């Protein structure tokens, strides 16, 4: 008679610090693809013989594509093994980057940018994956570490594209990024741990779940409301910044946008601290401080209208403050939602990030319109209004004690 064999549950892969660092780098490399066009939009306008405001809409297309990709593709992070899903998306992103680098009309570039945005959603798959692998007491810290890599990608992307674009033309950043993404796909195929899908639901049910979660989870809605407003303010400022510093007030080239972004990269060191503060104090306390920071950043950015060295310093300090506030607030928001339903983290993140990037694409559009109509002060006013609405929303909600 054979002995009874009792199956043992599979051990959860260990999220080591080297793997956490690799995932952080992957987040940065992937997300950079929807941000580096912000710095080179004046070069795109010249190269494709269109207006600067029209070329700036390439960024809006990328962010809209990102929102669509989050809604349509990120839920698969609960349904498919992460290694295969992430590697496939990275290869598709590289294809989109090559198409963008070869585009000879603005509509073609806009379509390629939308494709890039839709497939470069890898960070929004890796972050909930890492949160699931981390110990509960380290979840905020791990989320903050991956977000610091994501921030580095967002901000250093502008330095990379502004400098490279000035030297070799606007197509070069797209083609170099394609090579970087292909190399990243090889690293992810080699080092991502083997994970087990948390659900076997069919694809339509996965999509419906994100809408259902928005309807039934008030804490998810709260996080979404904060990030829609703050990310809209962030996108409005960064999209208009390239128009401002290359315009008549400063007469600088696109590398100047990259230098300002390099200063803002200091915010990547703030998110691990925000994660630890969230673990210690709870997300509401961190959100409140960050929303005050958005309003303060708008006041600092007004000095950018003065021109000269004083104006540039004001722009650098103001953008750094805005970056720190936005990214640290995101740490708190994602820590809040990842604690809600462990088996549905990808779908929770889908709902959250879809809302956030719809806000971001709207903010990019608002930034261009505000700058065209009212100049840089109009952009600062837009940032201040969006931040103030989010702050008022935060103050009117009773704060939840840390669990």
CA max distance for the chain: 89
In a domain, 305, yes or no: yes
In a domain, 401, yes or no: no
Given a cut of 60, whether residue 240 has pLDDT beyond it is yes
Average pLDDT of the residues in 45-49: 89
In a domain, 194, yes or no: no
In a domain, 98, yes or no: yes
pTM exceeds 0.85 for this model? no
- Label residue 159 by pLDDT band (50, 70, 90): confident
Average pLDDT of the residues in 295-323: 93
In a domain, 1, yes or no: no
Given a cut of 50, whether residue 8 has pLDDT beyond it is no
Average pLDDT of the residues in 65-83: 86
Given a cut of 70, whether residue 9 has pLDDT beyond it is no
Residue 266 makes CB contacts below 8 A (sequence gap 6+) with 320, 324
Q: Are 134 and 142 in contact (CB under 8 A)?
A: yes
Q: In angstroms, rounded to a whole number, what is the distance separating the alpha carbons of residues 344 and 325?
A: 27
Phi, psi of 204 (to 5 degrees): -60, -35
Give the relative orientation of helices 17-31 and 171-191 as an angle to the nearest 10 degrees: 150
State CA 150 to chain mean position distance: 7
Phi, psi of 263 (to 5 degrees): -60, -45
For the chain, what is the mean pLDDT?
85
In a domain, 119, yes or no: yes
Note the pLDDT of residue 360. Answer: 86
**CA neighbor of 125 nearest in space, from 167, 158, 174, 83:** 83
Tens of pLDDT, residues 334-375: 888 888 887 777 788 888 988 988 898 889 889 989 999 999
Give the domain range for residue 139. Answer: 17-189+201-395
- Label residue 402 by pLDDT band (50, 70, 90): low
Percent of the chain with pLDDT over 70: 93
Q: Are 142 and 22 in contact (CB under 8 A)?
A: no
Note the pLDDT of residue 399. Answer: 60
Q: Are 275 and 145 in contact (CB under 8 A)?
A: yes
Lowest model confidence (mean pLDDT) among 40-54, 112-126, 229-243:
40-54
Q: In angstroms, rounded to a whole number, what is the distance separating the alpha carbons of residues 227 and 221?
A: 10
Percent of the chain with pLDDT over 90: 40
Tens of pLDDT, residues 203-234: 888 888 888 999 999 999 999 999 999 999 99
Question: For the chain, how many structural domains are there in total?
Answer: 1
Average pLDDT of the residues in 149-165: 82
Residue 46 makes CB contacts below 8 A (sequence gap 6+) with 170
Token representation of residue 50: 């269109």
Note the pLDDT of residue 6. Answer: 37
In a domain, 402, yes or no: no
In a domain, 53, yes or no: yes
CATH number at residue 125: 1.20.1250.20
- Label residue 254 by pLDDT band (50, 70, 90): low
Q: In angstroms, rounded to a whole number, what is the distance separating the alpha carbons of residues 110 and 4?
A: 61
What's the chain's Rg over C-alpha atoms? Answer: 21
Tens of pLDDT, residues 261-281: 777 667 777 877 888 888 888
Q: In angstroms, rounded to a whole number, what is the distance separating the alpha carbons of residues 54 and 234?
A: 20
Q: In angstroms, rounded to a whole number, what is the distance separating the alpha carbons of residues 293 and 244?
A: 22
Check residues 245 and 143 and name the one with the higher pLDDT. 245
Outline where 32-81 has alpha helix (H).
37-47, 52-73
Note the pLDDT of residue 13. Answer: 56
């Amino acid at each position: 008679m054979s002995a009874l064999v009792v199956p043992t549950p599979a051990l959860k892969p260990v999220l080591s610090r080297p793997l956490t660092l690799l995932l952080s780098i992957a987040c940065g490399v992937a997300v950079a693809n929807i941000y580096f066009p912000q710095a080179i939009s004046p070069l795109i306008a010249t190269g494709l013989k269109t207006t600067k405001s029209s070329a700036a809409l390439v960024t809006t297309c990328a962010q809209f594509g990102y929102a669509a990709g989050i809604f349509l593709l990120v839920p698969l992070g609960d349904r498919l093994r992460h290694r295969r899903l992430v590697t496939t998306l990275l290869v598709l992103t590289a294809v989109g980057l090559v198409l963008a680098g070869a585009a000879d009309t603005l509509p073609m570039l806009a379509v390629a940018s939308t494709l890039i945005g839709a497939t470069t959603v890898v960070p929004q798959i890796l972050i909930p994956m890492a949160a699931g692998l981390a110990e509960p007491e380290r979840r905020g810290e791990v989320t903050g570490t991956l977000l610091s890599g994501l921030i580095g990608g967002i901000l250093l992307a502008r330095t990379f594209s502004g400098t490279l674009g000035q030297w070799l033309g606007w197509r070069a950043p797209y083609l170099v990024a394609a090579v970087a993404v292909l190399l990243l796909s090889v690293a992810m195929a080699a080092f991502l741990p083997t994970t087990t899908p948390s659900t076997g639901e069919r694809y339509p049910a996965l999509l419906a779940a994100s809408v259902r979660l928005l309807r039934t989870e008030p804490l998810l809605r709260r996080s979404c409301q904060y990030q829609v407003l703050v990310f809209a303010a962030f996108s409005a400022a960064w999209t208009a910044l390239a128009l401002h510093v290359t315009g008549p007030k400063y007469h600088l080239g696109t590398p100047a946008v990259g230098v300002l972004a390099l200063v803002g990269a200091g915010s990547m060191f703030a998110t691990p601290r925000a994660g630890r503060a969230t673990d210690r104090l709870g997300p509401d306390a961190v959100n409140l401080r960050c929303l005050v920071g958005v309003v303060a950043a708008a006041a600092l950015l007004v000095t950018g209208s003065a021109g000269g060295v004083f104006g540039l310093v004001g722009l650098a300090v103001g953008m750094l403050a805005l970056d720190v506030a936005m990214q640290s607030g995101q740490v708190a928001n994602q820590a809040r939602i990842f604690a809600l339903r462990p088996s549905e983290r990808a779908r929770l993140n889908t709902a959250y990030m879809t809302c956030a990037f719809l806000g971001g694409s709207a903010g990019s559009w608002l930034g261009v319109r505000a700058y065209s109509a009212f100049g840089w002060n109009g952009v600062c006013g837009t940032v201040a209004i969006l931040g103030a609405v989010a702050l008022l929303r935060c103050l009117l909600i009773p704060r939840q004690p840390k669990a």
